[in-house]
Structure 1
């Protein structure tokens, strides 16, 4: 029992990092996941990690509050980067909706409470199901588990002064847009050709109302292209998961001062 009390300061720090990670992490951070489940899951994962990792025995002193703040920031930054890269899927849906004519038809995402594009929400749900089917959520938990190799528990600081960290976050942000463009380009390019064809028809047959014909035609073409290219999009999503793990490891390495 005395040994358990000795590990209590370390357990509390691990618990703070995991719960702050759940605040931003995809899947676990959604509003339809009860807070009691988040806290309970974080408690049991922290309990397992304390006795699995080789963590130092800490004491509650004047520096302990800074360690708590450091752990909260580490968890938030790691979860935010994972959420940022997965936002590429909704960004791609926004590009597609703009060409389809669904730009104004946003829906409320029940998971986050924010507005999201129709196609983006559809692709995001499919991608989350794909993430769960390949046990990607286990890889995210592995990331927070192995983060102690890069940012030790007793390290009282984060290398925010490292000039490479800001550059790294900008690189991750730009990479998110590149992946979104790669996902959206098949549908967007086909819709551009449809617009060109409608423009030619409008000049050839002035009596044809392209505004009445064009919108349902573009919607139908978009659904057909989405159905055909869904496998390719999921291939890009799998590459996105690899990029996410790569960027998470690099961010933890920079926060550790390497």
Structure 2
């Protein structure tokens, strides 16, 4: 009976590593999945991890560390894992927002039906493209392997609030640089159009430059954006791969 209790408690504790990923991290928040289903999936995956790692979970002396501290440590570990994906998609949304402002789409926003948040128009396209590549490249399988490794390397009751700030800063710089690279072609075209319209305004001051600029840049964005996305598959793949590669470095004991 005591062993069964330890297993049930271990399942609930390990689920705290998974819930932040499924509940708050993109690309999972881009899917309209009921909260109950997300919770059941988290508990099911936690039960799988506990069954596969008994020595690091329910047989580990986690009671001695104090249940509240174990809960905080497990929840922090889950938030840390979710942070890697969140930063990658935040970089994509930021780059998309820059295009929106340059193209005149700044007033247009999309409401995510899952989180009810307002998202940039082009940034949403980038996010869904990255999500498609994440699932196509086997990201969920890699994520399961990372979760299994986290249980083996950081048993219950041993998680701590620490890490490698240098690795995290390097990762943040890398993902935002790749996001700017994704948006670079569109931003370059919009910049050239801005220069051309500025010269026109000097030679034809009676022309409604603002109205002309909005129309030209909107058409140029719609024309160049599909080309930019189709030519940036390697960058999308590298961006998602970087998010998965940084996760083991953020897992600390």
Shift of 1:35: 1.5
CA distance in structure 2 between the aligned counterparts of 1:130 and 1:35, rounded to whole angstroms = 24
The structural deviation recorded for 1:79 is: 0.8
| Alpha-carbon RMSD | 2.3
1:135 is matched with which residue?
Answer: 138
Superposed counterparts of 1:148-187, under 5 Å: 148-155=151-158, 157-160=159-162, 165-187=164-186
CA contact (8 A) 1:88 1:177 kept: yes
Query: Does the residue aligned with 2:105 lie in a helix, a strand or coil?
Result: coil
How far off is 1:170 after superposition? 3.0
Contact 2:93 2:126 (C-alpha < 8 Å) held by counterparts: yes
Question: What CA distance in whole angstroms lies between the structure 1 residues aligned with 2:155 and 2:41?
Answer: 22
Cross-structure match for 1:241 = 240
Answer yes or no: is the 8 Å Cα contact 2:60–2:156 preserved in 1.
no
Q: Displacement of 1:251 after TM fit?
A: 0.9
| Inter-partner Cα distance in structure 2 for 1:151 and 1:61 | 16
What TM-score does the superposition give when structure 1 sets the normalisation length? 0.86
Matched positions, count: 250
For structure 1, the 5+ residue unaligned runs are none
- Which consecutive unaligned segments of at least 5 residues does structure 2 have? none
How far 1:246 sits from its partner (Å)?
A: 1.6
> Residue by residue, what CA displacement relative to the aligned partner does 1:164-214 show, whole Å, maximum 9, x if unpaired?
x33333333333321221111111111111111112222233333222222
2:53 is the alignment partner of 1:53: yes
8 A contact 1:20–1:75 mirrored in 2: yes
Higher mean C-alpha deviation, range 131-140 or range 67-76: 131-140
Tell me which residue corresponds to 2:44. 44
Shift of 1:21: 3.4
Q: Is the 8 A contact 2:49 2:151 kept in 1?
A: no
Answer whether contact 1:172 1:247 (CA < 8 A) is retained. Answer: yes
Q: State the 1:40 CA deviation.
A: 0.8
Give 1:217 deviation, angstroms. Answer: 0.8
Give the Cα separation in 2 of the matches to 1:146 and 1:171: 23
CA drift of 1:236 comes to 1.1
TM-score by length of 2: 0.88
